[in-house]
C-alpha cells in the first residue's frame, strides 16, 4: 500500500495514500464503452451549444431518444424550467459541445457530485494538511511554524508551537494519537495530539520536507532538502532521550522531495519500497525491511526515466509493480529466503501493460490505474498475473504525471504538468478540477480515509480550507 498520511497519503499518505484504503460503492464487472453514453429525454429535443451557457452558439439539435457520448460532467450548474443540473460536455453526430444535463438520462442512477461542504480560513499561510485515521480531525502546518489541529466543522482544537521555521509536511500516526511535523528549521517534531511535545528529531542538514510513520508505528521515515531519506527506529517504552533506538540514512535522493510520491509499504507493514535517484547515478528501487534495515535493489533504471513503485494489497505474499515511462512495468514477487537474509524476485507481469509515467493498485487490489503522456488507463486485475485494460480516458494536451485511486476504488485523482488536480469517477467522467495553488512538498488535495471527503487549500495573503464531499 502507499503511505497514507493523513491517515495515508504518500498517496496516500499526502500526504497520506496509506496509501492508497476504501468507500463502499459496487463496481460493475466490466467497464465498457457504453458507460459514458446517455440519451436525450427532452420532448422537443436538446440543443447542443458551443459553450455551457444558454445563449451560446447553437451547434445542433439532438432529437429525443438520441444517444450521446458524455465526455465530462464538470460544466457549471444551471436551472432551466425548474430543473437544476450541470452542463455536460457531450459528443453527438461528430460534433462536440455542451448540453444541459437535466434533460440527459445516463445508464447510471446518477453521476456522483462533488459539493463544497465547509470552508474556513486560517490566519496563517498553510503549507500542508492531513486527515486523522478516523477522518474526524485535520492537522495543518503553516509558514509561521505553527501546527494546528482542526475538527471537520472548521473549529480550531489546538495549536502546537515549537518550530522556528515554516512547516512543510504533517502526518498522523496509524493510531491517530501522534502527529509528525517536518520544518524548514531542519527538525522533525513528534507531538501528542493533546498538544505535548514528545520528541525532536535532528538529522537533516537542510529543510525537512517530509515525515511519516511506518504502518506499524515503530519507525519514522523523513526526507529533506539535503537529499537524504532517514530511517528513525522508535522505542516507545524508553525514556524520551532514548526513544530513537536506530538512526540511519538509507538513501540519497536528489530528485524527488515529496515523500508521499516515492514510498510504498507492503500490506503486512514489514517492508517498504523506495524509488529514488542517487547523486550522479541511475535511478533505483530498493526494498527495505522495517526491522533490520537490510536492502535489496530490484531495479536500476536510466537516469532520464520516470520511476514508480506500488505494492499489491490483496494477497499476503508480497508483490509490487515497478517501472518507468520507457519500458513496460514489471511485477515482482518478493519472498524470504530461509537460507539467507534477503529477497528473491521473479515473474514479470503477463499482460499488455504499456510503459507508464505512473502506475498503482487500488486499495482492494481489484484494479490498477496508470497514466502515460496524455491518457489515463484503468486495469482490471483478474489475478496478479493477468491485467485487462477496461477503460481509457482523458486525452488532452496536458502531460499527466501521477494518477491513483482514492479509498473505495470508485474515484481517481490525477495530477498533470500544469499542476491541475482532477477527480474522476471510475467510469471515466470528470467530476471536479481543483485549481488551488500548488503546495511545494506535498499534495494540495488530500482525501479522507473513507474516501468520502477531500480537502484543498486556497492560498492568498492567508489560507482557506475547502472541505469537499463526494455524494453518490
420-433, pLDDT tens digit by residue? 788 888 877 888 88
Calculate the dihedral angle through the C-alpha atoms of 177, 180, 181, 182, rounding to the nearest 10 degrees: 180
- Closest alpha carbon to 232 in 243, 246, 252, 250: 246
Q: Strand pairing of 37-40 and 358-361?
A: unpaired
| Pairwise CA distance, residues 367 & 382, whole Å | 9
**How far apart are the C-alpha atoms of 368 and 197, rounded to whole Å?**
40
Between 89-98, 175-184, 273-282, the lowest mean confidence (pLDDT) is in: 273-282
Q: Residue 117 above 90 pLDDT?
A: yes
Total Cβ atoms within 10 A of residue 248 = 14
Strands (E) in 205-294, as ranges, are 208-213, 219-224, 228-234, 244-252, 263-265, 271-277, 283-289
> Of the ranges 22-31, 79-88, 280-289, 404-413, which one carries the lowest mean pLDDT score?
22-31
pLDDT, averaged across the chain: 76
Domain that holds residue 50: 33-106
Does 62 map to a domain?
yes
Q: Would you say residue 294 has pLDDT above 70?
A: no
Distance CA 24, CA 306 (A): 33
Position 72 in a domain: yes
Mean pLDDT in residue range 134-154: 95
pLDDT at 282: 54
The answer to whether residue 379 is domain-embedded is no
Q: Select from 24, 27, 46 the least CA-distant residue to 90.
A: 46
CA angle 307, 210, 251 (to 5 degrees): 55
What's the whole-number mean pLDDT along residues 227-235? 86
In a domain, 66, yes or no: yes
| CB 333 within 8 Å of CB 317 | yes
Q: Is residue 458 part of a domain?
A: no
Residue 439 has which C-alpha cell?
503546495
Any domain includes 377: no
User: Does the residue 406 lie in any domain?
Assistant: no
- Count of structural domains within the chain: 1
pLDDT tens-digit readout, 82-115: 777 889 999 999 999 999 988 888 755 467 888 9
**What is the domain-level CATH number for residue 90?**
2.30.30.40
In a domain, 80, yes or no: yes
Amino acid at each position: 500500500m502507499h503511505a497514507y498520511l493523513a491517515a495515508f497519503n504518500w498517496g496516500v499518505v499526502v500526504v497520506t495514500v496509506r496509501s492508497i484504503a476504501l468507500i463502499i460503492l459496487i463496481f460493475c464487472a466490466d467497464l465498457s464503452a457504453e458507460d459514458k453514453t446517455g440519451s436525450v429525454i427532452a420532448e422537443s429535443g436538446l440543443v447542443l451549444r458551443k459553450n455551457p451557457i444558454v445563449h451560446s452558439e447553437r451547434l445542433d439539435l439532438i432529437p429525443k431518444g438520441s444517444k450521446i457520448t458524455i465526455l465530462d460532467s464538470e460544466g457549471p450548474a444551471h436551472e432551466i424550467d425548474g430543473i437544476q443540473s450541470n452542463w455536460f460536455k457531450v459528443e453527438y453526430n461528430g460534433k462536440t459541445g455542451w448540453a444541459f444535463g437535466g434533460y440527459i438520462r445516463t445508464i447510471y442512477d446518477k453521476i456522483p457530485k462533488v459539493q463544497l461542504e465547509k470552508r474556513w480560513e486560517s490566519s496563517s499561510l498553510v503549507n500542508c494538511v492531513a486527515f486523522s485515521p478516523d477522518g474526524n480531525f485535520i492537522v495543518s502546518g503553516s509558514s509561521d511554524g505553527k501546527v494546528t489541529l482542526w475538527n471537520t466543522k472548521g473549529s480550531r482544537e489546538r495549536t502546537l508551537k515549537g518550530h522556528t521555521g515554516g512547516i512543510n509536511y504533517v502526518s498522523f500516526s496509524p493510531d491517530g494519537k501522534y502527529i509528525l511535523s517536518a520544518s524548514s528549521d531542519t527538525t522533525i517534531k513528534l507531538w501528542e495530539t493533546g498538544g505535548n511535545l514528545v520528541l525532536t528529531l535532528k538529522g537533516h542538514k537542510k529543510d525537512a520536507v517530509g515525515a511519516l510513520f511506518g504502518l506499524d508505528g515503530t519507525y519514522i521515515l523523513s526526507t529533506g532538502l539535503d537529499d537524504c531519506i532517514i530511517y528513525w527506529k522508535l522505542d516507545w517504552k524508553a525514556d524520551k532521550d532514548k526513544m530513537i533506538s536506530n538512526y540511519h540514512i538509507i538513501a540519497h535522493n536528489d530528485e524527488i522531495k515529496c515523500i508521499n510520491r516515492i514510498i510504498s509499504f507492503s500490506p503486512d507493514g514489514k517492508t517498504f519500497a523506495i524509488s529514488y535517484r542517487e547523486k550522479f547515478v541511475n535511478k533505483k528501487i530498493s526494498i527495505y525491511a522495517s526491522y533490520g534495515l537490510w536492502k535489496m535493489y530490484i531495479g536500476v533504471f536510466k537516469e532520464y526515466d520516470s520511476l514508480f513503485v506500488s505494492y499489491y494489497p490483496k494477497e499476503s505474499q508480497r508483490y509490487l509493480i515497478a517501472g518507468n515511462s520507457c519500458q513496460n512495468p514489471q511485477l515482482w514477487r518478493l519472498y524470504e529466503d530461509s537460507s539467507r537474509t534477503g529477497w528473491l524476485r521473479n515473474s514479470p507481469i503477463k499482460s499488455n501493460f504499456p510503459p507508464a509515467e505512473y502506475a498503482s493498485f487500488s486499495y482492494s487490489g481489484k484494479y490498477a490505474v496508470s497514466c502515460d503522456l496524455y491518457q489515463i488507463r484503468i486495469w482490471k486485475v483478474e489475478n496478479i498475473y493477468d491485467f485487462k485494460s477496461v477503460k481509457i480516458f482523458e486525452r488532452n494536451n496536458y502531460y499527466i504525471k501521477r494518477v491513483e485511486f482514492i479509498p473505495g476504488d470508485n474515484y481517481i485523482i490525477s495530477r498533470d504538468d500544469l499542476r491541475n488536480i482532477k477527480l474522476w469517477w471510475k467510469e471515466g467522467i470528470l467530476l471536479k478540477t481543483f485549481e488551488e495553488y500548488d503546495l511545494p512538498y506535498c499534495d494540495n488535495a488530500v482525501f479522507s480515509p473513507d474516501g468520502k471527503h477531500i480537502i484543498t487549500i486556497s492560498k492568498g495573503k492567508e489560507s482557506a480550507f475547502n472541505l469537499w464531499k463526494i455524494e453518490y
